[in-house]
Structure 1
Amino acid sequence: MRNLDDQPEKPRFYSVTESAAILRMSPMTLYRAIDSGSFPAIRIRGRLVVSARAIDKMESAALFRDEAVDAAEFS
Structure 2
Amino acid sequence: MSDQPGRTRFLTVLEVADVMRVSKMTVYRLLHSGELPGVRVGRSFRVPQDALDHYLATSPAVETREQPHGEDRKSS
TM-score by length of 1: 0.60
Structure 1 counterpart of 2:41, from 35, 44, 47: 44
Aligned length: 57
Distance in 1 (CA, whole Å) between partners of 2:32 and 2:3 is 34
The answer to whether the aligner puts 1:57 opposite 2:51 as a matched pair is no
Report which of the two has the higher share of helix.
1
Distance in 2 (CA, whole Å) between partners of 1:39 and 1:2 is 22
Distance in 1 (CA, whole Å) between partners of 2:44 and 2:35 is 17
**C-alpha contact (below 8 Å) 2:36/2:55 kept by paired residues:** no
Percent identity over the alignment is 32
Give the unaligned 5+ runs of structure 1. 4-10, 63-67, 70-75
Distance in 1 (CA, whole Å) between partners of 2:3 and 2:56 is 25
1:72 equivalent in structure 2: none
TM-score by length of 2: 0.60
Superposed, 1:1-75 pairs within 5 Å as 1=2, 12-61=9-58, 68=60
SS at match of 1:14: strand
Root-mean-square deviation (Å):
2.3
Distance in 1 (CA, whole Å) between partners of 2:45 and 2:26 is 14
- Structure whose CA Rg is larger: 2
What's the CA shift for 1:38?
Answer: 2.3
Q: Which runs of 4+ in 1 moved over 3 A?
A: 59-62
